Amino acid sequence: MATDQLTSRTVSDSSTTATRRRFRIDDRYIPVLGTVIVLIAMLAIGGHLYENFLTGRVMANVLINNGFLVVLAVGMTFVILTGGIDLSVGAVLALSTCVSAWMFTHGWSAAFTIPVAVLVGTLIGLAVGLMVHVFEIQPFIATLAAMFLARGLCYIVAPESIPIADPVIVSLSTTRWPVYGTFVLTPSGVISLAVVVIAFVTLHYTRFGRTVYAIGGSEQSARLMGLPVARTKVLVYVISGTCAGIGGLLFAVFSRSGYSLTGVGMELDAIAAVVIGGTLLTGGSGFVLGSVLGVVVLGLIQTIITFQGTLSSWWTKIFIGALLLVFVVLQRLLAIRRR
């Protein structure tokens, strides 16, 4: 599948003159296109029903409230592209938040705490990667163990909620940069966008990124092609762990406290966002930007239900489930058509 993608990309680049090609959309883009259509439909419906919906403030809030989820979904995309799964991200996010809160209350400076909080995620990701690769434990079980481990460590670091009063974190959480009208960007938003950009460049313009796609397409073929499968497989979990660490930091900025029960079930939101963003769970096909769109779709569902007011919060879950179903069936139909 990897070579297939490479050739189709060169074809679509050089085929701007070929008119026949122009009307045919590459199969890889159809799921993402579906996400875009859903997104536009939601914006249209929301804007039609509620007059204050299509304002910069609402859109900025969607980004502010889901910045950490964007980062988690980006990390998850790498893992899912190789055909794996990472169930530990929610717990690792909580651990990173708790560790930073604990360090701040014990007098460490932000310059030291922030790298350590991110490094916690990196280390757990490394441990998972080694478990998956060296001991051939299935990703599902290895990351499940990591999830339990991180959650248990959370309780040890922060048995109760720890408030964060560090000036750096406080200023990060209160800063607002006006962009256009009422649309504002926060430092957290900028960090999550930076993560997205780095991930995008890594996936599409580096050898490592192509190896990730190749492993997802067929691990055996990637091995036989001499690609560094072992290193890449460990690295995707390191990336996912690091992203969870960054996510934890963003969550610390967002909530200004460390609590051991934060992010319960967040791994499922991240997986849902990746799937809604058009990434195949079997690996090998999908885009980071799709995952970002997936997070925005999830955020908009929540916003619309808040705007609606009479719908209870559990409808969010039902809508997300239904949307997941639609996208999975769509992907399945595409896979059948491709055959």
Partner 1 sequence: MSITRHRLFWPVVALLALLLASVLKSHTFLDIEVRDGHLFGGPIDVIRRTSVLLLVALGMTLVIATRGIDLSVGAVMAIAGAVALTQIASSPDPGSVATVAAAMGTALLICLVIGVWNGFLIAVVGIQPIIATLVLMTAGRGIAMLITGGQITTVTSAPYKSLASGYTLGLPNAALIAGFFFLVTALVTRRTALGVLIEAVGINPSASRLAGVRARTIIWTVYILCALFACIAGFIKSADTMAADANNAGLFIELDAILAVVIGGTSLAGGKFSLAGTLVGALVITTLTLAITILGIPANAVSLFKALVVIVVCLLQSPKVRNSSWGRRRPAVAPVPASVEVSA
* Cβ closest to partner 1, residue 58 vs residue 323: 323
3-state secondary structure of 24: coil
205, 320, 241, 337: which is closest to 274 by C-alpha?
Answer: 320
Q: How far apart are CA 274 and CA 292, in angstroms?
A: 8
281 lines the binding site for partner 1 (CB under 8 A): yes
118 lines the binding site for partner 1 (CB under 8 A): no
- Selected from 220, 309, 337, 339, the binder of partner 1 by CB under 8 A is 220
159 lines the binding site for partner 1 (CB under 8 A): yes
130 lines the binding site for partner 1 (CB under 8 A): no
Neighbours of 130 (CB within 10 A): 16
* Cβ closest to partner 1, residue 193 vs residue 281: 281
Q: Which helix (H) or strand (E) holds 184?
A: strand 183-185
73 lines the binding site for partner 1 (CB under 8 A): no
The one-character DSSP state at 160 is S
Structure tokens at 147: 């999830």
Q: How far apart are CA 243 and CA 131, in angstroms?
A: 19
157 lines the binding site for partner 1 (CB under 8 A): no
**Residues in the chain, overall count:** 339
- Selected from 43, 137, 185, 305, the binder of partner 1 by CB under 8 A is 137
Q: Which helix (H) or strand (E) holds 258?
A: strand 257-258
Choose the binding region for partner 1 from 70-78, 96-104, 129-137, 166-174 (rule: CB under 8 A).
129-137
Choose the binding region for partner 1 from 38-46, 99-107, 111-119, 326-334 (rule: CB under 8 A).
326-334
256: left (phi over 0), alpha (psi -120 to 50) or beta: left
44 lines the binding site for partner 1 (CB under 8 A): no
Q: Which helix (H) or strand (E) holds 179?
A: strand 177-180
85 lines the binding site for partner 1 (CB under 8 A): yes
203 lines the binding site for partner 1 (CB under 8 A): no
Q: How far apart are CA 213 and CA 112, in angstroms?
A: 35
Choose the binding region for partner 1 from 40-48, 58-66, 103-111, 319-327 (rule: CB under 8 A).
319-327
Q: Contact positions toward partner 1, by CB under 8 A?
A: 85, 87, 131, 135-138, 140-142, 144-149, 151-153, 155-156, 159, 220, 223-224, 226-231, 260, 268, 271-272, 275, 281-282, 312, 314-318, 320-322, 324-325, 328-329, 332, 336
